[in-house]
């Protein structure tokens, strides 16, 4: 953070910069992006639509262990590099359902990763990405609680990758090539779970709104902090504040700390307060969170349409953490008013199952309705 222009303009009285990203900053003022703003595209059909609903092609060769109830699954016993196209389709469905899937000890290299990820769609290109196929991810060892004094972009904040795009990314895959022994974990929060955790009144409120996702704050900070020029001009995009996942059909909150600056339909003060709540809601979501400790060769694949993530800032030495990320374009976010939340679906399926069991003469404990000696649930009360 010390390379930020704002560090050169500290008030001796307050200890804070006199201005944040003013026009005096030549790094921002003098930059002209080389590429135009993107137009909307229709990406190829999501590979998860081609999966076996039971994911049998993948799960016959790999062991899946859920790390928390609502998000995150560890997949072991396989090398991604050896998976067939059918198994990759099953993997996409697993990611869409569980939010993020982890693997350790992978033998992929960058070329292999790029080739593998092309299976999932058209490779995205981050505004600051010079190599069109992948982006290098480092980490953060600055004090994120203090960074806001120098830059309005919460660079260590919870985000879905480049959610400001007209076609924000669907899947991302990060593979770690160098990593400190401790520190630099990444955490993910389920946006399915965040929606479920709202009261019905707040669910309705968010469903009626569009969130403004902007690249403007990141644009300035990239120029100032990262020392590279963004390829495209900054944009502000209005996306539904609650979106429907095109594969699972589930509702997910579509607001994040990193790129959302407000709500299009609200007055400024209403918008600020609601955004403040939404950011708190994400930070308070330890029941919807999974935290991953990296090793060299570890991989995480996640779905940006139903999760947000952030690297947990640490004190490790700069340059000791390096990962390669590949990302593919997703659909333009939409809200299907007839879609259901994850909780609603679970309840509906449970009810349907109970109805079926009743018709088949099985009670809710999974036993025969005559309650004979096999009714173990009556004994095991705890």
User: Which chain residues interact with Fe ion by CB under 5 A?
Assistant: 161
The CA distances from residue 224 to 7, 17, 25, 142, 219, in Å, are: 11, 14, 8, 15, 9
Q: Which is nearer to Fe ion, 161 or 331 (CB)?
A: 161
**Shortest reach from residue 169's CB to Fe ion, in Å:** 9
In the chain, alpha helices (H): 26-29, 56-59, 85-98, 110-118, 144-147, 191-196, 200-207, 216-221, 268-283, 342-359
**Shortest reach from residue 112's CB to Fe ion, in Å:** 21
Q: Which is nearer to Fe ion, 170 or 341 (CB)?
A: 170
> Beta strand 186-190 with 289-292: parallel, antiparallel or unpaired?
antiparallel
Q: Which is nearer to Fe ion, 293 or 345 (CB)?
A: 293
Token duo for residue 200: 């019905």
Q: Name the residue number minimizing CB distance to Fe ion.
A: 161
State the DSSP code for 235: -
Q: Which is nearer to Fe ion, 161 or 303 (CB)?
A: 161
How far apart, in whole angstroms, are the C-alpha atoms of residue 263 and residue 260? 8
Q: Which is nearer to Fe ion, 97 or 161 (CB)?
A: 161
**Shortest reach from residue 270's CB to Fe ion, in Å:** 29
Contact 319/170 with Cβ under 8 angstroms? no
Q: Which is nearer to Fe ion, 73 or 186 (CB)?
A: 186
State the DSSP code for 362: B
**Shortest reach from residue 97's CB to Fe ion, in Å:** 20
**Shortest reach from residue 268's CB to Fe ion, in Å:** 28
**Shortest reach from residue 216's CB to Fe ion, in Å:** 18
State the DSSP code for 317: P
How far apart, in whole angstroms, are the C-alpha atoms of residue 174 and residue 315? 21
Neighbours of 365 (CB within 10 A): 14
Q: Which is nearer to Fe ion, 187 or 247 (CB)?
A: 187
**Shortest reach from residue 187's CB to Fe ion, in Å:** 11
Separation of CA 98 from chain center: 11
Closest alpha carbon to 331 in 101, 49, 111 = 49
């Amino acid at each position: 953070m010390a390379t930020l222009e704002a560090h050169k303009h500290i008030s001796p009285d307050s200890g804070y910069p006199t201005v944040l990203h003013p026009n005096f900053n030549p790094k921002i003022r003098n930059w002209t992006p080389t590429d135009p703003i993107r137009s909307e595209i229709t990406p190829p059909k999501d590979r998860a639509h081609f999966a076996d609903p039971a994911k049998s092609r993948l799960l016959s060769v790999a062991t899946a262990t859920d790390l928390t109830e609502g998000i995150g699954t560890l997949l072991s016993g396989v090398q991604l590099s050896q998976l067939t196209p059918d198994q990759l389709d099953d993997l996409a469905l697993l990611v869409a359902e569980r939010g993020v899937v982890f693997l350790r000890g992978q033998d992929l290299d960058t070329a292999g990763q790029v080739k593998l990820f092309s299976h999932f769609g058209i490779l995205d290109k981050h505004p600051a990405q010079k190599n069109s196929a992948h982006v290098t991810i480092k980490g953060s060892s600055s004090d994120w609680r203090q960074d806001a004094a120098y830059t309005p972009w919460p660079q260590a904040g919870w985000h879905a990758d480049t959610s400001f795009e007209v076609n924000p990314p669907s899947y991302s895959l990060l593979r770690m090539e160098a990593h400190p022994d401790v520190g630099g974990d990444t955490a993910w929060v389920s946006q399915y779970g965040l929606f479920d955790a709202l009261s019905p009144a707040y669910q309705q409120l968010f469903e009626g709104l569009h969130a403004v996702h902007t690249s403007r704050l990141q644009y300035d900070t990239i120029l100032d902090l990262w020392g590279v020029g963004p390829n495209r001009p900054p944009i502000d995009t209005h996306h539904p504040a609650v979106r429907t996942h095109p594969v699972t059909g589930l509702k997910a909150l579509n607001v994040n700390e990193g790129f959302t600056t407000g709500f299009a339909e609200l007055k400024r003060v209403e918008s600020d307060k609601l955004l403040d709540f939404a950011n708190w809601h994400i930070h308070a979501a330890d029941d919807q969170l999974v935290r991953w400790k990296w090793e060299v060769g570890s991989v995480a694949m996640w779905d940006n349409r139903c999760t947000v993530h952030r690297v947990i800032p640490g004190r490790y030495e700069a340059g000791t953490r390096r990962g390669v990320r590949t990302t593919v374009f997703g659909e333009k976010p939409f809200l299907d008013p007839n879609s259901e939340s994850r909780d609603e679906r679970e309840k509906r399926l449970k009810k349907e199952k109970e109805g079926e069991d009743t018709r088949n003469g099985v009670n809710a404990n999974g036993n025969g309705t005559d309650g004979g000696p096999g009714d173990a649930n009556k004994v095991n009360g705890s």
